């Protein structure tokens, strides 16, 4: 029995029969029900027996730096190098040896037979000159100790960077699993709706087959994200030593710690990266070893002193003796091994220089990629977030259009899948940017400092007798990386026709009352003059009227209001004799500001109506705008009440909007309840929340629609009680 997950008992015999289409449908419904029910308990599943409570990034990094085996290996190597220096320093001090012995000795030609002997001796040996062998060995091992110290710092920075990535990946895939669960739940709801229609005979079986395939893909996506979450959780456990907690707090912001330019980042990496410093110190250590090999060609001078007592030679009295002497020695021939040793270490010096260059170019690459990735992802996030928000609005519009028969099931599912992909791309960009920032700081040797983490017992450079590393122009590779191109750089040389600037910009405050789409009397006078000019021209292909709003209100208000105002201007121009076929009205809400929305002046400038004249040689083909495209959903009306059959007076509702955010739907309901003095309701279907006015009597529909149109809601339509909600 698996202690982590409950398992189905498969020991009982199972009998299988071929399934009919209806049975297969029932199996799909049952499987979907089981999986959907399991998603209700999402938190326990995603936690995968995660410890209760929360963990911060700083806690995880501190635990890894003090306990991760990779860091422990480097720590013990550093401690061993400190002791090795003390071993070499012993060569400066005298060697004192005591020797004693006892035994019996026999000499065959003295006739005395065997006799006892004993002796005791104390010897002192002091090296006076060894060709600087000891000095160079101490210097080599002291540099090697600093190499081990910088390798320890480098291992700590690398583990901290790995923990940061694992920490963020766990948070990332928990979020992606949640997105995949929502996506699966939406597909399952649509599947059940289509299945009910097919069962009742009012739906097409091909739609059921289509949604069945989409549902299978949603299931696969969910299982893939869950597998990814398992893998990154295992990586987190390897680095930190425990399973990630059920709640991981957001990491601290690191973006402000990054330098202003790539060149500054590279210079700081050269000055602070411990791995690069270890490679520099390794050159000095190898040069000291090379100097030490020259001692083999030098004489050795020692001071030796001894004192002792010796009793030997068949009863002769004990002999006491002492001596002090200078002993010089020099090797004359060792088979050429000393010359070979010198050549070997000479090549080791060149190798260490090449290793430093290799470390430098690798550091330059790592820093350049991480720094540019952080900057690129920061810019890319704006576009990804805009795309995600636009698709969120589109899927709401598509769902409304599907309800009144203006969109197909395929359109709705495509918009849901596109929103899922857009949400994943945006989430990945957020996490990837934070990881790139951490990797940049780790390359600079500054990640642990930013996180305020230091290994317990780690000495300072001064405590190990080091003055640090001198980095100069001869030591580093050029601090110059490939240029990073922004979107403006990439599009600057492209031959793309620029969007036409508006010919006329009218202040919405001068045309309309606040929150209204009714033209003022002064606005009508100005537009009457414009209509006369337009009628006099014969070179116009289109007159594009674009309504814009500031960001003060919600999208649920701004989008329809800007569209209604553009429609009002176009409608009035048409009543003044302008050819209606020339007029195109579009509402953009607050999506295209021309000034900041942080000031009253900027918001006033954003509330505007732009009118653009496209002449016959403009080169724009209006037929290229496909009614079914996503962009068309923003400007096209959602629908009209006349497209729906009449409903019973006691159960008729007018749907005003379908929003993806529940709080926005509730806020709109409260606002319209006050402004219309009518009853409203919010019907939620997953993450789509529909705001409806009603019940409304049929005789009240025209006046209510007129009031909604005056408020900017020109797309309100009648819904039937049996419609899915």
pLDDT of 254 reads: 92
Q: What is the mean pLDDT of residues 674-691?
A: 80
Residue from 381, 378, 368 nearest 439 by CA: 368
Alpha carbon of residue 40 to chain centroid: 27
Percent of the chain with pLDDT over 90: 42
Residue entry with tokens 């008729």:
652
Tens of pLDDT, residue by residue over 584-595, are 888 888 888 888
Tens of pLDDT, residue by residue over 84-110, are 999 999 999 999 999 999 988 776 666
What distance in Å separates the CA atoms of residue 359 and residue 475, rounded to the nearest whole number? Answer: 11
CB half-sphere exposure, 719, CA atoms < 13 A: 27
pLDDT of 34 reads: 44
pLDDT of 111 reads: 61
Residue entry with tokens 């600087």:
132
Q: Provide the CATH number for the domain formed by 504-635 in this structure.
A: 3.30.1330.60
From 136-140, 351-355, 498-502, the region with the lowest mean pLDDT: 498-502
pLDDT of 430 reads: 95
- Bridge partner list, 544: 584, 612
Q: Using the predicted structure, report yes or no on whether residue 294 has a pLDDT greater than 70.
A: yes
pLDDT of 471 reads: 86
What distance in Å separates the CA atoms of residue 662 and residue 528, rounded to the nearest whole number? Answer: 43
Is the CB of residue 635 less than 8 Å from the CB of residue 586? yes
pLDDT of 292 reads: 92
Alpha carbon of residue 345 to chain centroid: 46
pLDDT of 10 reads: 34
Residue from 174, 161, 159, 183 nearest 232 by CA: 174
What distance in Å separates the CA atoms of residue 63 and residue 451, rounded to the nearest whole number? Answer: 13
Structure tokens at 63: 């635990």
Strand residues in 2-109 grouped as ranges (E) = 54-55, 95-106
Is the CB of residue 394 less than 8 Å from the CB of residue 632? no
Residue 669: pLDDT band (50, 70, 90) is confident
Residue 342: pLDDT band (50, 70, 90) is very high
- Bridge partner list, 103: 117
Rg of the chain over Cα atoms, rounded to whole angstroms, equals: 42
pLDDT of 109 reads: 64
CB half-sphere exposure, 445, CA atoms < 13 A: 19
Residue from 500, 503, 494 nearest 620 by CA: 500
What distance in Å separates the CA atoms of residue 378 and residue 436, rounded to the nearest whole number? Answer: 10
What distance in Å separates the CA atoms of residue 369 and residue 474, rounded to the nearest whole number? Answer: 24
From 176-190, 199-213, 334-348, 702-716, the region with the lowest mean pLDDT: 702-716
Q: Measured between alpha carbons, how far is residue 568 from residues 117, 335, 426, 512, 614 in Å? A: 128, 105, 37, 10, 20
Residue 696, helix vs strand vs coil? coil
Residue from 137, 125, 131 nearest 299 by CA: 131
What distance in Å separates the CA atoms of residue 659 and residue 640, rounded to the nearest whole number? Answer: 19
Tell me, letter by letter, the H, E, C secondary structure of 38-49.
HHHCHHHHHHCC
Q: Measured between alpha carbons, how far is residue 643 from residues 214, 404, 497, 725 in Å? A: 30, 7, 39, 18
Is the CB of residue 346 less than 8 Å from the CB of residue 227? no
Tens of pLDDT, residue by residue over 414-437, are 888 899 999 999 999 999 999 999
Residue from 652, 650, 634 nearest 715 by CA: 634
Residue 483, helix vs strand vs coil? coil
Q: Using the predicted structure, report yes or no on whether residue 598 has a pLDDT greater than 60.
A: yes
What distance in Å separates the CA atoms of residue 370 and residue 435, rounded to the nearest whole number? Answer: 9
Q: Measured between alpha carbons, how far is residue 445 from residues 63, 251, 352, 466 in Å? A: 19, 18, 22, 18
| Surface-to-core class of residue 336, CB atoms within 10 Å of its CB (0-12 exposed, 13-18 middle, 19+ buried) | exposed
Residue from 291, 270, 286 nearest 468 by CA: 270
Q: Provide the CATH number for the domain formed by 641-719 in this structure.
A: 3.30.70.1070
**Residues for the chain: how many in total?**
725
Q: Using the predicted structure, report yes or no on whether residue 153 has a pLDDT greater than 90.
A: yes
pLDDT of 399 reads: 80
Q: Using the predicted structure, report yes or no on whether residue 678 has a pLDDT greater than 90.
A: no
Q: What is the mean pLDDT of residues 431-459?
A: 94
DSSP state of 512: B
pLDDT of 315 reads: 55
Structure tokens at 37: 């029910």
Cα 174–Cα 178–Cα 183 angle in degrees, nearest 5 = 145
DSSP state of 73: H
pLDDT of 724 reads: 39
245 C-beta neighbours (distance < 10 Å), count: 18
pLDDT of 499 reads: 63
546 C-beta neighbours (distance < 10 Å), count: 23
Element (H, E) at 372: helix 337-403
Residue 603: pLDDT band (50, 70, 90) is confident
Tell me, letter by letter, the H, E, C secondary structure of 192-226.
HHHHHHHHHCCCCHHHHHHHHHHHHHHHHHHHHHH
CB proximity list for 154: less than 8 A, separation 6 or greater: 74, 273, 274, 275, 278
Q: What is the mean pLDDT of residues 569-596?
A: 87
- H helical segments located in 404-479: 409-443, 447-451
Q: Using the predicted structure, report yes or no on whether residue 449 has a pLDDT greater than 80.
A: yes
Q: Using the predicted structure, report yes or no on whether residue 38 has a pLDDT greater than 80.
A: no
Element (H, E) at 146: helix 133-200
Tens of pLDDT, residue by residue over 316-340, are 667 888 999 999 999 999 999 999 9
Range ranked top by mean pLDDT from 141-150, 479-488, 515-524: 141-150
Angle between helices 409-443 and 205-240 (to 10 degrees): 10
Backbone angles phi, psi at 690, to 5 degrees: -105, 130
312 C-beta neighbours (distance < 10 Å), count: 15
What distance in Å separates the CA atoms of residue 358 and residue 276, rounded to the nearest whole number? Answer: 9
Q: What is the mean pLDDT of residues 23-44?
A: 45
Tens of pLDDT, residue by residue over 1-14, are 343 333 333 333 33
Q: Using the predicted structure, report yes or no on whether residue 636 has a pLDDT greater than 80.
A: no
Q: What is the mean pLDDT of residues 226-254?
A: 94
Ordered by start, the domain boundaries in the chain are 504-635, 641-719
What distance in Å separates the CA atoms of residue 368 and residue 429, rounded to the nearest whole number? Answer: 18
């Amino acid at each position: 029995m698996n202690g982590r997950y409950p398992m189905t008992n498969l020991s009982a015999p199972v009998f299988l029969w071929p399934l009919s289409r209806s049975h297969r449908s029932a199996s799909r419904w049952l499987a979907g029900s089981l999986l959907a029910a399991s998603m209700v308990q999402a938190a326990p599943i995603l936690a995968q027996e995660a410890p209760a409570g929360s963990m911060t990034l700083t806690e995880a990094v501190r635990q890894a730096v003090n306990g991760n085996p990779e860091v422990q290996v480097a720590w013990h190597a550093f401690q061993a190098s400190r002791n090795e220096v003390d071993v070499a320093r012993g060569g400066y001090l005298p060697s004192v040896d005591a020797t004693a012995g006892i035994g019996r000795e026999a000499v065959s030609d003295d006739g005395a037979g065997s006799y006892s002997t004993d002796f005791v001796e104390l010897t002192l040996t002091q090296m006076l000159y060894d060709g600087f062998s000891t000095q160079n060995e101490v210097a080599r091992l002291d540099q090697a100790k600093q190499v081990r110290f910088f390798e320890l710092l480098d291992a700590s920075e690398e583990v901290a960077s790995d923990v940061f990535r694992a920490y963020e990946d766990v948070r990332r895939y928990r979020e992606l699993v949640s997105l995949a669960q929502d996506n699966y739940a939406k597909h399952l709801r649509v599947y059940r709706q289509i299945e009910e229609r097919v069962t009742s005979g009012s739906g097409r079986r091909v739609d059921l087959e289509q949604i069945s395939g989409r549902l299978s893909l949603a299931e696969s996506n969910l299982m893939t994200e869950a597998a990814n979450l398992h893998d990154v959780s295992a990586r987190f456990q390897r680095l930190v030593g425990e399973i990630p907690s059920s709640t991981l707090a957001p990491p601290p912001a690191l973006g402000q710690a990054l330098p202003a330019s790539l060149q500054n980042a590279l210079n700081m990496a050269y000055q602070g990266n411990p791995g690069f410093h270890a490679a520099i110190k390794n050159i000095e250590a190898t040069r000291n070893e090379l100097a030490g090999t020259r001692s083999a060609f030098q004489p050795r001078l020692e001071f030796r002193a001894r004192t002792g007592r010796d009793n030997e030679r068949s009863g002769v009295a004990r002999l006491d003796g002492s001596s002090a002497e200078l002993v010089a020695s020099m090797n004359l021939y060792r088979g050429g091994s000393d010359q070979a040793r010198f050549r070997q270490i000479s090549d080791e010096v060149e190798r260490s220089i090449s290793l430093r260059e290799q470390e430098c170019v690798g550091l330059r690459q790592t820093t350049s990629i991480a720094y540019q990735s952080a900057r690129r992802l920061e810019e890319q996030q704006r576009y990804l977030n805009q795309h995600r928000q636009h698709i969120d609005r589109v899927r709401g519009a598509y769902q409304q259009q599907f309800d009144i028969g203006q969109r197909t099931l395929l359109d709705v599912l495509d918009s849901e899948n596109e929103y899922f992909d857009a949400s994943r791309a945006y989430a990945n960009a957020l996490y990837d940017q934070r990881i790139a920032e951490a990797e940049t700081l780790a390359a600079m040797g500054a990640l642990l400092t930013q996180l305020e983490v230091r290994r317990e017992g780690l000495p300072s450079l001064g405590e190990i007798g080091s003055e640090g590393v001198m980095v100069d122009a001869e030591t580093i590779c050029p601090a110059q990386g490939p240029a990073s191109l922004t979107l403006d750089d990439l599009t600057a040389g492209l031959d793309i026709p620029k969007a036409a600037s508006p010919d006329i910009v009218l202040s919405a405050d001068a045309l309309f009352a606040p929150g209204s789409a009714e033209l003022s009397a002064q606005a009508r006078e100005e537009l009457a003059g414009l209509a006369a000019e337009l009628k006099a021209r014969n070179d116009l292909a289109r007159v594009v009227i674009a309504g814009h709003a500031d960001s003060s209100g919600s999208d649920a208000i701004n989008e329809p209001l800007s569209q209604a105002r553009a429609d009002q201007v176009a409608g009035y121009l048409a009543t003044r004799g302008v050819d209606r076929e020339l007029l195109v009205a579009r509402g953009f809400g607050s999506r295209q500001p021309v000034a900041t929305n942080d000031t009253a002046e900027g918001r006033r400038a954003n509330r505007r109506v732009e009118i653009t004249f496209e002449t016959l040689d403009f080169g724009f083909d209006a037929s290229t705008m496909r009614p079914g495209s996503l962009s068309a959903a923003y400007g096209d009306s959602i629908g009209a009440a006349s497209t729906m059959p009449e409903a019973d007076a006691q159960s008729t509702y007018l749907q005003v909007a379908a929003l993806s955010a529940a709080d926005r739907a509730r806020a709109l309901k409260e606002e319209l309840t006050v402004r219309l003095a009518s009853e409203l309701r919010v019907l939620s279907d997953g993450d789509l929340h529909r705001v409806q006015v009603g019940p409304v009597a049929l005789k009240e529909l025209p006046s209510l629609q007129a009031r909604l149109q005056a408020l900017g809601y020109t797309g309100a339509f009648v819904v039937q009680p049996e419609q899915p909600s």
